Amino acid sequence: MTKIRDSELLERFGDHLKGIRTGKGLSQEEVAYRADIPINQVGRIERGEVNTTVSTLFALAKGLEVPPAQLLSFEPSLSQG
């Protein structure tokens, strides 16, 4: 059976978030300020250390000036298990 491991999913989401942020030329600090969330939280999400909430997802989308759906538009890696 193929399944997605939580840690892999969080890492892929974090990589995707970081790619959007750096593609826009923004620092973690700028995104945190725009999203009104702590700067360390942005870093922890990008490193896949935290499973973020829906409200934080919407705040990040606002800070990045992208639709929330774009933050979820990535392919998670699949593991056999």
Give residue limits of the domains in the chain: 7-74
pLDDT of residue 56: 98
What pLDDT score does 80 carry?
44
Query: Which residues are CB-contacts of 25 (< 8 A; sequence separation ≥ 6)?
Result: none
Determine the Cα–Cα distance for residues 21 and 15; give it in Å rounded to an integer. Answer: 10
Per-residue pLDDT at 4: 62
Question: Which segments in the chain show pLDDT lower than 50?
Answer: 1, 80-81
Would you state the pLDDT for residue 5?
A: 81
What pLDDT, on a 0 to 100 scale, did the predictor assign at position 79? 52
Fold of the domain spanning 7-74: 434 Repressor (Amino-terminal Domain) (1.10.260)
CB neighbour list of residue 61: distance below 8 Å, 6 or more residues apart: 67, 68, 70, 71
Q: In DSSP terms, which residues pair with 15 in a beta bridge?
A: none
pTM for the structure as a whole: 0.86
